[in-house]
Structure 1
Amino acid sequence: MTEGPAPALLKQIESIALAAGRLILEIQRGGAAVQNKGDGSPVTDADLLAEELITRELQRIDPSLPIVGEEAASAGDFSGASARTFFLVDPLDGTKEFVRGSADFTVNICLVENGRPQLGVVVAPARRELFSGDGSISYKCTLSNDLSIRGRSRIATATPASALSAVASASHENAATKDFLDKLPIGKKLSVGSSLKFCLVATGEADIYPRFGTTMQWDTAAGDAVLRGAGGCTLTCDGRELAYGAKRPEKKALQNPYFVSFGGSVEALRKLLRVSALEVSV
């Protein structure tokens, strides 16, 4: 279903994410420079320059709002996460996929309010796709080669059938995920990288996405906002809504607990968690 214009602030965030996507593709065409962080994960000049661009442009929207970006946080700057309202940014989610030449990498920007992902934008520049949501409605946009928006449609989760379709990480699947899914009526299983997993559930292409591994809040916030706006939910393994922000000024406080995202209601997901007798923790 084609929809009218998105809310003004959401469109501003979309424009910033699209600009970052153009920059990333330009760097990719020229050959990205890759180095390793202290934890061994890769970082490229595309990550760093895209975060600089996003931070600069978000500050123009409202210089009073803190911005917590992955690369700044990795360098020790994460104090803004204790604010009531702040931006969470992952300038290039799926760096490993980006380095390998896969199209499954995204730009993620989310406005967090009172612990909830309120406005979220996910741009998959190599796939020419944009997903966004404002908490009550979510969209999928098709993009032209220059990443301008060609069309905008409202998206909504599907009503899960008796056989569920699951989506899992392309590079982080583990035994806990397999055990969880084995206890559920899974009819089809998809694999994709980055925050696109949330987007597949938001569009109804998948029903459930379990993540029993280490993730940070900037990895999940934007995609989670899109999913919630499309009618889905994300719960921790004990049935609580996945929350954002941190009371302690330290990077570890921004690490997510294990979670499950679902295209149905909170009550239905809590029932599945009980059925699976899930016993996993961070």
Structure 2
Amino acid sequence: MGRVTVRRQVLRISDGREIRRPDALAAEEPLELRVDGRALTVTMRTPGHDVELAHGFLQTEGVINSVEDVRTARYCDGTDEDGKNTYNVLDLALAAHVPPIERGVERNFHTTSACGVCGKAALESVRVRSHHDLTRDDTKVGVGTLLSLPHKLREAQRVFDSTGGLHAAGLFTAAGQLLAAREDVGRHNAVDKVIGWALMSGRVPLRGCVLMVSGRASFELVQKAAMAGVPVLAAVSAPSSLAADLAAEQGMTLVGFLRETSMNVYSGQSRVDR
């Protein structure tokens, strides 16, 4: 399995002094996802929880709906110059009842660690494809509970402590209990890992849950949350305009700029118990 962190020698300059010392960097490696032996996408990610990442990605893209839709997930042969398996190619075999992915769809799945899924169609794509009606989810989350989530998520970021270079996503109950937290160089990968964990645990749709992310709330993250049936998405930074539009369309509560004492609620204000 690939390393989560990588050590590098750095020259640190501070107050006119120079010090050479080792520094920990967040590992970033490509992961090629294959479905039934055919390449689907390549994403840059932090190694670890790759099977969860793959399940979450396929679920939020509407390829699968349950863990039973995947027969097997295995690493393919892929070696480095020393002949060691890089564990950077993962092949998932779909169950017989799952419709095959249409040829040519791969171009819609190109991802990087920074931008998420590119080339998405407009808001209609999620409204048509999502299997979960968030308007029927009557989850209530207290203001105090929401304000406590950034600290709880930060406490769960073990790799961030040593590198300072990873995003995080955490899945919480409406009472603020942490169910799962994952880190990655990409926000969307961290979310896919958490949703993949939930799917493999039989928890999707994620009724009564809050998805907390360490960065901003983009259109892609709102889309992924909607596809997994998440009623509340919270972020420590700002949402984009398209993310706010999509959250409102889906009946999702979207919270941004969530800090120790304040927050902005952009949609679904009725779920915030105050």
TM-score (norm 1): 0.27
Task: Answer 1 or 2: which has greater helix percent.
Answer: 1
TM-score (norm 2): 0.28
